[in-house]
């Protein structure tokens, strides 16, 4: 088996590349995906989002090492093991990230990845329904919509933000990210709009694209050049040859793991595991970042929350309506209200994100409050803590060691406490007065720094936005793994293009920037001139130096 391009991983970036690299019919593409089909209702039905990420059928089943600053808790690290990768198991929230995030990438050595450079790729990938004119794409493969926001609690959240003095925005993915407004979803005609639906299925209709269901063991490198991928299928090991290039798009956990198994990484670590060093790159597996959040939950005095729908009869009714009509409560992820705000004066652009939900429940659906409630997921978006992904052994089947080192920077504690207190201020506004009961968690009596720190230690969760482990940067940067064209430094014919190459975690959910990465990387791989830079200027709060609102 051979193709011009061999892509490892059919996720957010991998599917986009399969579509773009095969578009003109000139080149053949093989996509290697270990996971199986995404066609079950638990993936396609948006409201069922808590199921796939808890199922070994669809998830790699990674956990962190005991996190030293979180009472030694091991946190789950879901990654999609299925067609569409993590875009098939995620929360379907669509955020591009702030313009300044990408400018920061460019300043830190990822030249050609500033906001002006990436905005045209966001537009190329999008089919925006209701976004800001001129700032959004309207005929790309990726459908993006807003929820109906019919629950009155969404309006209360928006109004409370206004009453607290914060900005509002009609489209945080447009010119103005800062403020309270509607949240966007990768849902289309009532179905999860994963990259499998948007990119991979259309690509597989072409004669020059093949999907191979197999486990990628390592990249085959001969005389300093990647020539193929060693795979295992039904117990048999074989090699898929790449005539032009091998592209790794296997996630911020599996991409560094594959590089290290292939002899690319910190030399000493590789030798420890008896792996021959092909390229000594200290940055492989380093620079691991994520977003953390806590759920601030409030009792609701009126019986209007989704709690009414958590009984078996309601679930059956919702499931039936979705199955037959692709409508109703099953056709949304229920994340329909959002806010992006700044933590203090002197912070130039937002660094706190809110997801608002009209029910009090854990993200994985495992524990709901015992009555009507609402909640905000909140956390600081630019943590200074850094972790790593390392090998446990040279056995490709063995899960890697993941240590995010969450909350290892003292600023994170200060920022998290501020997030909780700010949420309380918003929930305390007049707009919530008709609905607001007692605080479920942390609890009205949890007020001191020490009490809030204990709550964070026990209850902070990952928002599941891991990235950064194969950092993109200048070839002179000893910690960079890929150059600004996604080429692995020190090896020919090998690229990495997924969230692992992000120099710093963008402000918001990562599916959008990951797809954009696949879109832009495709042009680099094909040797095309990048799309013309944008001259659009994003909105920055004129009061940023004097106020947080």
Question: Do 480 and 355 fall into the same domain?
Answer: no
Question: Do 268 and 366 fall into the same domain?
Answer: no
Residue that is written with structure tokens 């990387």 in the block: 521
- Per-residue pLDDT of the chain (549 residues), as tens digits, is 999 999 999 999 999 999 999 999 999 999 999 999 999 999 999 999 999 998 999 999 999 999 999 999 999 999 999 999 999 999 999 999 999 999 999 999 999 999 999 999 999 999 999 999 999 999 999 999 999 999 999 999 999 999 999 999 999 999 999 999 999 999 999 999 999 999 999 999 999 999 999 999 999 999 999 999 999 999 999 999 999 999 999 999 999 999 999 999 999 999 999 999 999 999 999 999 999 999 999 999 999 999 999 999 999 999 999 999 999 999 999 999 999 999 999 999 999 999 999 999 987 777 678 899 999 999 999 999 999 999 999 999 999 999 999 999 999 999 999 999 999 999 999 999 999 999 999 999 999 999 999 999 999 999 999 999 999 999 999 999 999 999 999 999 999 999 999 999 999 999 999 999 999 999 999 999 999 999 999 999 999 999 999
**Given the residues 127, 189, 465, 524, the one annotated as active site:** 465
Given this model, what pLDDT does residue 367 score? 66
Contacts of 371 (CB under 8 A, 6+ apart): 299, 307
Question: Do 477 and 333 fall into the same domain?
Answer: no
Is residue 132 situated within a structural domain? Answer: no
Question: Do 162 and 280 fall into the same domain?
Answer: no
Distance separating alpha carbons of residues 281 and 278, to the nearest angstrom: 9
**Three-class SS of 154-207:** HHHHHHHHHHCCCCECCCCCCCCCCEEEECEECEECCEECCHHHHHHHHHHCCC
Question: Do 222 and 363 fall into the same domain?
Answer: no
Given this model, what pLDDT does residue 536 score? 98
Is residue 52 situated within a structural domain? Answer: yes
Q: Which CATH number goes with the domain that contains 158?
A: 3.30.410.40
DSSP result, 259-328: HHHTTEE-HHHHHHTTPPPSEE-TTTT-SBB--EEEEEEEEESSS-SGGGG-SHHHHHHHHHHHHHHS-G
Is residue 135 situated within a structural domain? Answer: no
DSSP code of residue 500: G
The separation between CA 352 and the C-alpha centre of its own chain, rounded to angstroms, equals: 16
Question: Do 471 and 450 fall into the same domain?
Answer: no
Distance separating alpha carbons of residues 203 and 141, to the nearest angstrom: 11
Neighbours of 203 (CB within 10 A): 24
Question: Do 482 and 452 fall into the same domain?
Answer: no
Pick the closest to residue 42 from 33, 51, 53, 34 (CA basis): 51
Question: Do 11 and 74 fall into the same domain?
Answer: yes
Burial of 152 (0-12, 13-18, 19+ CB in 10 A): middle
Burial of 533 (0-12, 13-18, 19+ CB in 10 A): middle
- CB-based contact 98:175 (threshold 8 Å): no
Is residue 113 situated within a structural domain? Answer: no
Residue that is written with structure tokens 């099953």 in the block: 330
Distance separating alpha carbons of residues 438 and 256, to the nearest angstrom: 46
Question: Which residues does the annotation place in the binding site for FAD?
Answer: 4-33, 82, 90-93
Question: Which residues does the annotation place in the binding site?
Answer: 4-33, 82, 90-93
> φ, ψ for residue 297 (rounded to 5)?
-115, 140
Is residue 110 situated within a structural domain? Answer: no
Distance separating alpha carbons of residues 39 and 197, to the nearest angstrom: 10
DSSP code of residue 532: P
> Of 459, 476, 502, which one is at a domain's C-terminal end?
459
188 is catalytic: no
Q: Which CATH number goes with the domain that contains 245?
A: 3.50.50.60
Question: Do 453 and 335 fall into the same domain?
Answer: yes
Question: Do 248 and 308 fall into the same domain?
Answer: no
Question: Do 446 and 356 fall into the same domain?
Answer: yes
Question: What is the SS3 assignment for 146?
Answer: strand
**Three-class SS of 389-433:** EECCCCCCCCCCEEECCCCCCHHHHHHHHHHHHHHHHHHCCHHHC
The angle, 0 to 180 degrees and rounded to 10, between the axes of the packed helices 410-427 and 449-459 is 100
Domain extent, residue 76, equals 1-93+187-285+467-532
Is residue 124 situated within a structural domain? Answer: no
Question: Do 362 and 455 fall into the same domain?
Answer: yes
H helix or E strand, kind and range, residue 88: none
Is residue 244 situated within a structural domain? Answer: yes
Neighbours of 10 (CB within 10 A): 34
Question: What is the SS3 assignment for 386?
Answer: coil
- What domain count does the chain have? 2
H helix or E strand, kind and range, residue 511: helix 511-525
Is residue 118 situated within a structural domain? Answer: no
* Token pair in block for residue 334: 């229920």
């Amino acid at each position: 088996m051979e193709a011009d391009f061999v892509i490892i991983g059919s996720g957010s970036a991998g599917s986009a590349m399969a579509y773009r690299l095969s578009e003109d019919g000139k080149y053949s593409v093989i996509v290697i995906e270990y996971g199986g089909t995404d066609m079950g209702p638990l993936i396609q039905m948006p409201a069922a989002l808590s199921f796939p990420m808890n199922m070994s059928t669809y998830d790699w089943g990674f956990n962190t090492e005991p996190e030293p600053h979180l009472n030694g808790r091991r946190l789950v690290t879901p990654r999609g093991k299925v067609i569409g990768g993590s875009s098939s198991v995620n929360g379907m929230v669509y955020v591009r990230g702030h313009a300044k995030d990408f400018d920061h990438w460019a300043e830190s050595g990822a030249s050609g990845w500033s906001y002006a450079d990436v905005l045209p790729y966001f537009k190329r990938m999008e089919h925006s329904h209701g976004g800001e004119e001129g700032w959004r794409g309207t005929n790309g493969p990726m459908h993006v919509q807003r929820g109906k926001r019919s629950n009155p609690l969404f309006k209360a959240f928006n109004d409370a933000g206004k009453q607290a003095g914060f900005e509002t925005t009609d489209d945080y993915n447009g010119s103005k990210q800062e403020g309270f407004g509607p949240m966007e979803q990768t849902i289309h005609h009532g179905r999860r709009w994963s990259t499998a639906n948007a990119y991979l299925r259309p690509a597989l209709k072409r004669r020059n694209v093949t999907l191979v269901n197999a486990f990628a063991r390592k990249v085959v490198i001969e005389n300093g050049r990647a020539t193929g991928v060693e795979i295992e299928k039904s117990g048999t090991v074989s090699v898929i040859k790449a005539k032009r290039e091998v592209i790794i798009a296997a996630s911020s956990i599996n991409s560094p793991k594959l590089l290290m198994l292939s002899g690319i990484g910190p030399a000493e670590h590789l030798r420890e595991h008896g792996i021959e060093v092909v390229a000594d790159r200290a940055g492989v597996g380093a620079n691991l970042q994520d977003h953390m959040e806590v759920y601030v939950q409030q009792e609701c005095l009126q019986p209007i929350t989704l709690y009414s729908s958590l009984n078996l009869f309601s679930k059956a009714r919702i499931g039936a309506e979705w199955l037959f009509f692709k409508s109703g409560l099953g056709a949304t992820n229920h994340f329909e209200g959002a806010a992006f705000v700044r933590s203090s004066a002197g912070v130039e652009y937002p660094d706190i994100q809110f997801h608002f939900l009209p029910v009090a429940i854990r993200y994985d659906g495992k524990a709901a409050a015992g009555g009507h409630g609402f909640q905000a997921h909140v956390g600081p978006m630019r943590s200074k803590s850094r972790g790593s992904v390392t090998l446990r052994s040279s056995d490709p089947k063995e899960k890697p060691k993941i240590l995010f080192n969450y909350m290892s920077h003292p600023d994170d504690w200060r920022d998290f406490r501020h997030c909780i207190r700010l949420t309380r201020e918003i929930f305390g506004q007049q707009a919530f007065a008709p609905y607001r009961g007692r605080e479920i968690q942390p609890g009205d009596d949890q007020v001191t720094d020490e009490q809030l720190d204990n709550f964070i230690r026990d209850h902070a969760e990952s928002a599941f936005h891991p990235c950064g482990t194969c950092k993109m940067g200048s070839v002179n940067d000893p910690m960079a793994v890929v150059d600004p064209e996604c080429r692995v430094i020190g090896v020919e014919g090998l690229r990495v293009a997924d969230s692992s190459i992000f120099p710093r975690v963008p402000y918001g959910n990562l599916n959008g920037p990951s797809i954009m990465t696949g879109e832009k990387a495709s042009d680099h791989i094909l040797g095309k001139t990048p799309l013309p830079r944008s001259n659009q200027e994003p909105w920055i709060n004129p009061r940023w130096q004097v106020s947080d609102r």
